[in-house]
A = this chain, B = another copy of it.
C-alpha cells in the first residue's frame, strides 16, 4: 500500500473540492474531515470517498453552495436546515452553534435536517473538545439494517460519537455504529468468497446466513440483538423524527449506484461546557485517575493492555502524521482520476 503525506493529501482533496465548485471554506472542512479519517486509520471514511461526495454534487443530491438556515432558535436548542450541504459542512456548522449555546447556558443542542453523510462522526465530536467541552454526535444513515425481527433494511446503523477532552494529547473518543459489524466487512467477505459468522446478517427472507452474497441482498443485524435495535430506533428519533429529516427507509442511499432519492440525513449534535459543571482542571484530574484505574486492572488472558476509547485511532494518527497515511490502490486510482478531471497534479 502506498504511503501518502497527510498534508499533501489534504491539499490535493481541498483543491479537488474547490475546483469542483464548492466554496473555499467548505473545501477546507471537507478535505480536513476526509484526511482526519485517514489519519485515524478509518480509511472507509477517508479520501476514498471524495468521488462519492462529488458524484452526489453532480447528481443534485448534494448542494455545493448550500444556504444553511436556522429554522428555530432557543437559548440551548436550535434546528437547522442544511440545504443538502456536504455532511461534514452541515455538522461543522451545527457543532459550532452548539458550542456557542453551551458557552452561554452550559448545554447546546442542534438538530439538523436536510443534511448528507457526515463521514466519521468523531471528526465533528472532537471539535467540541477544542473549547474544553464534551461533544456528542448522533446521525442516522442510509437504511442497511433490519429491525429486530425484521427481514429487510429499514434502519441505518445510526452511529454515535462522544468525545471528551483530556487536556494534553488526544481526546478520548467513542465512535461506533449500531450494527454488529460494518457492512464493508460483508462486502469484503463476498469479494473474497469467504463465509461470515451467523449473527452478522440475514438474507432476503430474514434467515440468518453465513453466505456473504446472500447477506448483501438482505440486511445487517444490530449489535446485541434487541438492545442495538432499540438504540438505533431512539437515535433515528433524536436525529431525524425530531429534526424534520428523513427517517428509516426514507433516507436516501449515500453509496453508489442508486442516487435517485434525496439524502435528507438528520443529526443530533450536543456540546456540554465542562467549566459550567466543575472546574476544568478538576475534571481532567478525575478523568486521569479514572483511566489509571482501568489501565491498572488485572488483564484477561491474551490481553497485555486495557485501551481507552479512541486510543487505537489516536496512536495511528500520530504514526500516520509522521510516516504518511495508507491508501489502497483503489483509492489511489480514484484520486488519480479526480486529478485528471480537475487538472490537479496527483503526485502525492
Contact = CB atoms under 8 A, between A and B. Distances in A.
A307 B147 CA distance: 9
Interface in A138-188: 146-152, 154-155, 162, 164, 172, 174, 176, 180
B277 A72 contact: yes
Nearest to A206: B300
Taken together, the copies of this chain in the complex come to 2
Nearest to A223: B224
A299 B230 contact: no
Interface stretch (A33-41, A254-262, A289-297): A289-297
Contact of A149 (B180, B250, B303): B303
A300 B150 contact: yes
A152 B286 contact: no
A227 B105 contact: no
Contacts of A278: 72, 79, 242-244
Contacts of A264: none
Contact of A290 (B106, B202, B207, B248): B248
A301 interface: yes
Interface of A: 72, 74-79, 104-109, 111, 134, 146-152, 154-155, 162, 164, 172, 174, 176, 180, 202, 205-207, 223-224, 226-231, 233-234, 236-238, 241-244, 247-250, 272-274, 276-278, 283, 286-287, 290, 293-294, 297-301, 303, 305-309
6 contacts: A74-B106, A76-B107, A150-B297, A172-B233, A223-B224, A243-B278
Q: Which 5 A-B pairs have the closest CB atoms?
A: A206-B300, A77-B106, A149-B303, A75-B105, A76-B105
Given A134-B242, A233-B308, 18 more contacts: A74-B106, A75-B105, A76-B105, A77-B277, A79-B278, A105-B107, A107-B108, A107-B109, A134-B237, A146-B300, A147-B294, A152-B297, A164-B234, A206-B300, A206-B303, A224-B228, A247-B286, A247-B293
